[in-house]
Structures are given as structure tokens and as C-alpha cells.
Amino acid sequence: MARKCLIAKSFMKKPKYSTRNHSRCPICGRPRGFLRQFNMCRLCFRERALRGEIPGVKKASW
């Protein structure tokens, strides 16, 4: 419960300085492993890429 509260707080409040802004995954709230290009964490990205929900992304194989 405390984690969800922290996530909700960080989304609501705008930081005093723009450099203090910390990106979090909007799906799961994970603060680490964030991919800016897709606006989600690496775990959510991988999950959706394997399901084919992200256009233009496919699993690498060689």
C-alpha cells in the first residue's frame, strides 16, 4: 500500500526544478529500467513486445 501511495504522489506533484523529475512506468510504477522512447519500463516493454502489442518491434533472432 505504501508503494502505491508513493507512486500516486510522484505522479501528482510537480517538482520544484525540472531536473528533479523522475520518470516512472505508468503501467506498473517501476522507477528503474525506464525506456523513454516507449514510455514504459523494460519489463512492461518486453511483455508487450512478445505479445505483439508494440508496432515495429519484434524479437531479435540470428
pLDDT digits (tens, 9 = 90+) for 2-59: 677 777 776 677 888 888 888 889 888 888 999 999 999 999 999 999 999 999 998 8
Cα separation, 62 vs 3, whole angstroms: 40
Within a domain: residue 48? Answer: yes
Please choose, from the candidates 22, 35, 28, 23, the residue with its C-alpha nearest in 3D space to the C-alpha of residue 3: 28
Residue 32, Cβ neighbours under 10 Å: how many? Answer: 10
List the grid coordinates of 45.
Answer: 516493454
| pTM as predicted | 0.72
Are the CB atoms for 24 and 36 separated by under 8 Å? no
Which domain CATH number covers 8?
4.10.830.10
When divided into structural domains, the chain yields a total of 1
More confident residue, 1 or 16: 16
Cα separation, 16 vs 38, whole angstroms: 26
Binding-site residues for Zn(2+) sit at: 25, 28, 41, 44
Binding-site residues sit at: 25, 28, 41, 44
Within a domain: residue 29? Answer: yes
Band (pLDDT 50/70/90 cuts) for residue 62 is confident
Within a domain: residue 19? Answer: no
